[in-house]
Amino acid sequence: MCRSAAKVAMESPELVVPFDNKLIPVIQHKHTKSRWEAMYAISLIVPFYPEMIEAILPELNEIIEKDQSTIVRDRATEALAAYASINKDTAKKAFPYLKKVIDVWQDKHANRALEGMHNAFLQLPFLKKNIQPIAEIYSESSKGVVKKAANKLLKALQ
């Protein structure tokens, strides 16, 4: 079900929205592939159904902190980044979780978290004072994708 949902969501995410009640339980599934396929589908439907993410923020927090799969955490971070781009309210709610991704995993998911912070900043410019020090730190990263995301964010902050 999740693999099909992710494939459909890649082309027509709005068609997957009615199946959120089937996807959400799978983010806690014992099989990693099931979890990451479900998180991928969820990350793709966020713009069409932001209320879903709000409802599962505690689960996303747990995934960010504890899931052993890098891919599952990546997809959770992508979902938060997309959520941050929707409006001021979603950006305000997503920002602490995006910061937590960096606090817990440092470089591991920083590029996606920094992209989410960029989205949050576009909605809430007052976040600049919170985001700039983080972006400055990661602009020196040895990982190219992280450095690129940090430099893009620093450019937007100016």
Mean pLDDT of 132-149: 94
Residue 139 has pLDDT above 70, yes or no: yes
- Is residue 72 classed exposed, middle or buried when 0-12, 13-18 and 19+ CB atoms within 10 A define those classes? buried
Compute the mean pLDDT over every residue in the chain, rounded to the nearest whole number. Answer: 90
Tens-digit pLDDT profile for residues 7-58: 777 877 787 777 778 888 888 889 888 888 889 999 999 998 889 889 899 9
Residue 78 has pLDDT above 90, yes or no: yes
Spatial separation of the C-alpha atoms in residues 144 and 102, rounded to whole Å: 16
Tens-digit pLDDT profile for residues 103-116: 998 888 899 999 99
Residue 2 has pLDDT above 70, yes or no: no
Residue 121 has pLDDT above 80, yes or no: yes
First to last CA, the chain: 44
Which candidate, 141, 151, 129, 152, places its Cα nearest to that of 105?
A: 141
Whole-number pLDDT of residue 69: 94
Percent residues over pLDDT 70 in the chain: 98
Sequence-separated (6 or more) residues with CB below 8 Å from residue 61: 97, 100
* 91 neighbors 84 (Cβ within 8 angstroms): yes
Percent residues over pLDDT 90 in the chain: 64
Mean pLDDT of 131-135: 97
Whole-number pLDDT of residue 123: 97
Q: Give the global pTM.
A: 0.91
* 83 neighbors 94 (Cβ within 8 angstroms): yes
CA dist list (Å): 77 to 9, 18, 97, 115, 143: 17, 22, 8, 10, 18
Spatial separation of the C-alpha atoms in residues 33 and 41, rounded to whole Å: 12
